[in-house]
């Protein structure tokens, strides 16, 4: 499980945008977004930098990775 702090998510549309971008990168991934804590949890074999790239490509800022 990889955890990302993502800024700029405000609504369900943002959640779908981030989730869709990650699942486009890795269709096998599972993605869990918590809007209140701006946290995105991802189960994926792909390296964190690829996931960060997908999130940023969807128009959001990744402020931390764990």
Residue from 8, 14, 23, 52 in contact with Cu ion (CB under 5 A): 14
Query: Token pair for residue 58?
Result: 């969807």
Distance CA 52, CA 66 (A): 11
- Asked if 52 touches Cu ion (CB under 5 A), the answer is no
- Asked if 36 touches Cu ion (CB under 5 A), the answer is no
- Asked if 27 touches Cu ion (CB under 5 A), the answer is no
Three-state DSSP class for residue 53:
helix
Minimum Å gap between C-beta 50 and Cu ion is 23
Rounded (5°) CA angle 59-29-8: 25
Residues that bind Cu ion (CB under 5 A): 10-11, 13-14
């Amino acid at each position: 499980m990889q955890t990302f702090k993502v800024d700029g998510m405000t609504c369900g549309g943002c959640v779908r945008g981030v989730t869709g971008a990650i699942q486009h990168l890795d269709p096998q991934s599972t993605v869990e977004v918590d809007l209140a804590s701006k946290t995105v949890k991802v189960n994926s074999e792909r390296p964190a930098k690829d996931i960060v790239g997908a999130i940023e490509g969807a128009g959001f800022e990744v402020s931390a990775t764990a």
